[in-house]
Amino acid sequence: MSELKKIALKILSNGKGILAADESTGTMTKRLESVNVPSTPENRLLFREILFSSESMKDCIGGVILYDETIKQNSTSGKTISEIISSSGALPGIKVDTGAKIFASSNEEKITEGLDGLRERLKEYYKLGARFTKWRGVFNISNKYPSKLSISANAHALARYSALVQECQMVPIVEPELLMDGNHTADDCFNKTSEVLKRCFEDLVAHNVDLSGIILKPNMILAGANSDKKISNEEVAKLTLKCLKESVPKSVPGIAFLSGGQTEIQATENLNLINKYNDTNFIMSFSYGRALQQSALKFWSKNINDIKGTQKIFNHRANMNTFAAQGKWSAELEQK
């Protein structure tokens, strides 16, 4: 087994998943201001450090995706953030794209940037403790979108990024996200997601990326947020599995879903059903941001010094998603 595959399996095995704590300073500022907490470097670090030192990190979290600011910070104890994460048995990871910008050829779509200078940045992040990385390509769904041009450009970028990451002995998370925004149907989401995934894997293969040493981070198959044709959770699970079985090569070791605007409970319940119906060899786990953090953030905002109380909320959510990653979650467990 390759070292890259070992890393991927360490992150996702035994019901573990990924804590996506890679919000940019701008995004984190919006999150903190939404709960009336000033967005200072100290407050951003304090909230993240509370999560990273929680009890559930040992059993529920296999990897944490960090932002550039965070991986370079030292904790209040003097340890680096990477050291705190590693001490729980989880692996530090890093978001390496520089954001999605308006696509010049299709100004209602976006292209993710960050390839310039990436090789040098990856070497620095490796020295800082990172062992996996993340790059997000983002796609709209409508009658016109995503366009062939957008799919081609973003798939090419994801492949170039992945090849550079593996060259640096890290595991790339490949994240092609088709957004929930809009009034599209679940069938639209299924068809467009399938098209994007197939093109992404064509480009990954063309760039000699070792598919056994990546983690795929896709959206689930859902109707648009404004659609009047919502589908049941069972249909979400079955359509998502069908899409992945038809579009993802069997050599990919694991799939870590993004929550993509779902509520905390929806993201957990849908992941649980996917695992109940999972008849593949893929590990199906989670790479959640808001769906792991939102309740903890709201609680913490009332008293930013209540570390134990905040960790209790986070631990519960992490445990629920670990149950879901094993197909063992139930609504009753939420009340315990």
Is the CA virtual torsion 165, 271, 318, 226 positive or negative?
Answer: positive
**Per annotation, catalytic residue among 23, 49, 109, 175:** 175
In sequence order, what are the residues at sequence separation of 6 or more whose Cβ sits closer than 8 angstroms to the Cβ of residue 33?
Answer: 39
Query: How many Å from the N-terminal Cα to the C-terminal Cα in the chain?
Result: 40
Q: Tell me which DSSP letter residue 88 carries.
A: T
Residue 329 corresponds to which tokens in the numbers above? 């979650």
Integer Cα distance of 248 and 228 in angstroms: 29
User: Do residues 195 and 151 make contact, with C-beta atoms less than 8 angstroms apart?
Assistant: yes
Token readout for 260 is 């993509």
| Catalytically annotated residue among 192, 217, 264, 269 | 217
Query: Is residue 336 flagged as an active site residue?
Result: no
**Would you call 90 helix, strand, or coil by DSSP?**
coil
Classify each residue of 304-323 as buried b or exposed e, where b means 16 or more C-beta atoms within 10 Å of its C-beta. beeeeebbebbbbbbbbbbb
**124 is an active site residue:** no
CA-to-CA distance for 160 and 42, rounded, in angstroms? Answer: 35
Q: Among all residues, which ones are annotated catalytic?
A: 175, 217
